[in-house]
Amino acid sequence: MKEKDMNPNKKVFDKLSEELKSIKNIPPGAYRIHLHDNLINRKTGIGSKDNSIDTHFEHLIIKE
């Protein structure tokens, strides 16, 4: 997210997901989206927290 201390935005997540589904020229595979806020753990480089939004395994974006 652009501003500090903002939670991930569900509308942005949904738009990104729809755009990925509509792309025709990406390699075949199963794709997941993880949307985090802008706080990253300096030691691990991971931004996953309770407020993160992601594509669950049952809703993978499959490109064939």
CA-wise closest residue to 35 among 58, 61, 63, 11: 11
Tokens matching residue 13: 């997540």
Per-position b or e across 13-27, b if 16+ CB within 10 A of its CB: beeebeeeeeeeeee
Q: For the chain, what is the domain count?
A: 1
Predicted local confidence at residue 1, as pLDDT: 57
* Structural domain containing residue 41: 10-63
Per-residue pLDDT of the chain (64 residues; tens, 9 = 90+): 567 778 888 898 899 899 999 998 999 999 988 888 878 788 887 887 888 888 877 778 888 8
Predicted local confidence at residue 15, as pLDDT: 92
In a domain, 2, yes or no: no
In a domain, 14, yes or no: yes
pTM of the complete model = 0.71
Q: How far apart are CA 27 and CA 61, in angstroms?
A: 12
